[in-house]
């Protein structure tokens, strides 16, 4: 797999139709064997290499040779077994991604019917050609598996394959991703976020009509922000961090594409910045500070309160008085870098917000867990759910206002303030007057 990946990266840099004899007959035979293997994990990188090599040499017959049996499997789905279906989906998706199939074959030549893409929630569009027919088959198979509660195993990988096929016709992506982003199946929702990220990055490269599609994709921003906060206000479970990473990647991709909602992005970034060592939300905050420096101070108060509540669930030891854990220090340093990029007006608003939180003695309320979480707090015993008892069980030993003030003071101390410049002197004077 690593050899195929390295070879594919080399072939991707070649211009189509420029190389007459790129691979030896032995190499072509080896790629054919790997593409014909029953393992979908091996068939995917091998088909990528085969498509790129055929495109560089200017003849796509090797691609069509593997595509015909794969499409026959897709047409016969969902009766086929999961392994064969995934392998066929990957072969078809790679062919859609790397080859211009509409110029070398007709849908009827491959056993497909040229018709409009039609899926529940999609509008009718006149999309002809082999690529459209393959995308239609993948959509049909995915919908059949999605509606079948007993076919959960194949859905995540099948969705990723569908995402590659949709890159040829991204206009269908916003509607196609809507039901799976809200799915209750964690692996499926995580893969949907990855597909959303890949589509945004693909459309950023100047695809025709990409700007209009990106505007439609921004309606999925609330789902990405919800995934960024996934599991922060309950006891941690396996898979929570992976969902948050996928949500952060999708939110960053939508932000680079010019989506609105900078304040909401900043609030979510502040929430996940201070307690999760795996996320890189600080880079998102710095990007927002460069583009919209006024949005960060507006989101600072609510973001800090959410971060404080999340830390109490996941890392309560970091909130202890006198704690010097590097996790919180790294998070505060990431916020300080964004503060340095906000400009003079943005920095003053940032300081005023921090001082208001510090001197006002405000603190967020304790999140009330659901019944299942209340049972966990009770030691796993089935007791009647009581919000009051749940709050008492989740409340810290020290006074909440004192802990929150200490938490905000740590953020204030991490800011890069200097008396060497007039702006820095004004900021230090503001802090001195407000805390006197």
Nearest to 1 by CA among 47, 62, 56: 47
pTM of the model: 0.72
Helix (H) / strand (E) element for 244: namely helix 240-256
pLDDT of residue 129: 65
8 A C-beta contact, residue 228 and residue 251: yes
And the tokens for 319? 């909130």
pLDDT of residue 367: 45
- Give the three-state DSSP class for 199: helix
Distances (CA, A) of 184 to 155, 181, 240: 13, 9, 13
| Orientation of helix 210-217 relative to helix 173-181, angle to 10° | 20
**Cα 385 from Cα 376, distance rounded (Å):** 11
8 A C-beta contact, residue 264 and residue 225: yes
The end-to-end CA distance of the chain, in Å, is 64
And the tokens for 213? 């599609």
pLDDT of residue 414: 85
**Cα 162 from Cα 155, distance rounded (Å):** 10
DSSP state of 399: -
pLDDT of residue 387: 47
**Cα 433 from Cα 348, distance rounded (Å):** 13
- Give the three-state DSSP class for 128: coil
- Which residue ranges of the chain lie beneath pLDDT 70? 1, 8-9, 12-13, 15-20, 77-83, 104-109, 111-129, 148-153, 168-169, 206-210, 258-261, 275-279, 323, 361-399, 419-421, 434-436
CB atoms inside a 10 Å sphere around CB 351: 22
pLDDT of residue 155: 77
69 Cβ partners below 8 Å, 6+ apart? Answer: 88
Phi/psi at 296 (nearest 5 deg)? -70, -45
CB atoms inside a 10 Å sphere around CB 105: 18
């Amino acid at each position: 797999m690593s050899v195929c990946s390295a070879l594919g990266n080399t072939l991707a840099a070649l211009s189509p139709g420029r190389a007459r004899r790129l691979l030896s007959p032995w190499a072509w035979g080896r790629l054919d064997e790997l593409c014909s293997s029953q393992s979908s994990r091996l068939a995917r990188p091998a088909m990528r290499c085969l498509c790129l090599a055929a495109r560089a040499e200017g003849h796509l017959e090797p691609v069509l040779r593997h595509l015909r049996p794969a499409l026959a499997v897709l047409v016969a789905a969902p009766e086929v077994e999961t392994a064969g279906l995934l392998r066929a989906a990957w072969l078809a998706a790679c062919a859609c991604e790397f080859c211009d199939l509409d110029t070398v074959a007709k849908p009827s030549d491959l056993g497909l019917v040229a018709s409009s893409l039609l899926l529940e929630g999609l509008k009718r569009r006149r999309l002809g050609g082999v690529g459209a027919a393959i995308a239609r088959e993948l959509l049909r198979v995915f919908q059949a598996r999605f509606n079948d509660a007993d076919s959960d195993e194949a859905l995540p990988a099948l969705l990723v394959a569908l995402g590659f096929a949709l890159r040829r016709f991204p206009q269908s992506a916003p509607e196609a991703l809507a039901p799976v982003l809200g799915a209750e199946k964690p692996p499926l929702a995580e893969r949907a976020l990855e597909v959303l990220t890949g589509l945004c990055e693909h459309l950023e490269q100047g695809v025709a009509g990409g700007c209009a599609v990106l505007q439609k994709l921004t309606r999925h921003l609330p789902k990405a922000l919800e995934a960024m906060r996934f599991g922060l206000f309950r006891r941690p479970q396996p898979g929570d961090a992976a969902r948050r990473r996928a949500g952060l990647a999708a939110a960053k991709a939508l932000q680079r594409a010019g989506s609105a909602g900078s304040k909401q992005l900043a609030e979510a970034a502040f929430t996940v910045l201070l307690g999760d060592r795996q996320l890189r939300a600080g880079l998102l905050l710095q990007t927002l500070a460069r583009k919209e420096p006024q949005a960060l101070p507006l989101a600072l108060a609510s973001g800090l309160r959410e971060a404080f509540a999340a830390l109490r669930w996941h890392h309560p030891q970091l909130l202890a008085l006198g704690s010097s854990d590097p996790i919180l220090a790294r998070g505060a340093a990431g916020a300080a870098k964004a503060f340095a990029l906000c400009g003079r007006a943005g920095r003053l608003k940032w300081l005023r917000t921090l001082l208001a939180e510090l001197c006002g003695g405000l603190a967020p309320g304790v999140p009330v867990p659901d019944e299942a979480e209340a049972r966990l707090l009770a030691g796993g015993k089935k007791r009647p759910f009581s919000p009051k008892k749940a709050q008492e069980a989740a409340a810290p030993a020290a006074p909440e206002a004192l802990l929150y003030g200490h938490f905000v003071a740590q953020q204030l101390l991490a800011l890069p303030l200097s008396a060497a410049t007039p702006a820095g002197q004004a900021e230090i004077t503001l802090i001195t007057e407000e805390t006197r």
